[in-house]
Amino acid sequence: MLFGYSKDALDAVARYRELQQRVVALVCIAGPVGGSPLANAAKQQQADILRHWPKADCDSGDGRAVAPTYKNFASIDPRNDSQVICSDQNIPGSTLFGFLNVDHWAVVVPIDRAHNVIGSTVVNQNDYPREALLEALLRYVEEDLSASRQQGRSRVP
């Protein structure tokens, strides 16, 4: 099973063929399968600021920054997580587990736990039950794979 956030898991499976043969389930949380319209209008200097966040371990990326704003997306689709619109997060032919009512970063980045002042002022909508989400996803995949084996079918191409 491979669990990933945003584009990381999708990128790994696309880049490494040896991984494709070994992965029986891919769970992608907030994955920009269809890209993100924000990337077209963003400036690299906006993303470079994030590299200086306390405890950040980021390089300069691909040079095409993404501005994290829900408001910019609202005119395209109000169902967005401030980074990716709803329809661009679904892998064709996959099982859609559900929609999370949370900001793109809040799904996995516990700013509220690591930075008390920032978490209670600037980033004050970051509290999210990440552990419960992961447990629910693990249980769902486990049951789905078990049912597939019992029916004698494989979900691996």
What residues have CB less than 8 Å from 141, skipping those under 6 apart?
1, 25, 27
149 or 40: which leads in pLDDT: 149
Enter the pTM of the model.
Answer: 0.62
Distance (Å, rounded) from C-alpha 37 to C-alpha 128?
Answer: 26
Q: Which residue has the higher pLDDT, 67 or 77?
A: 77
pLDDT in tens, 96-145: 787 777 777 778 878 778 777 776 776 667 778 889 999 999 999 999 99
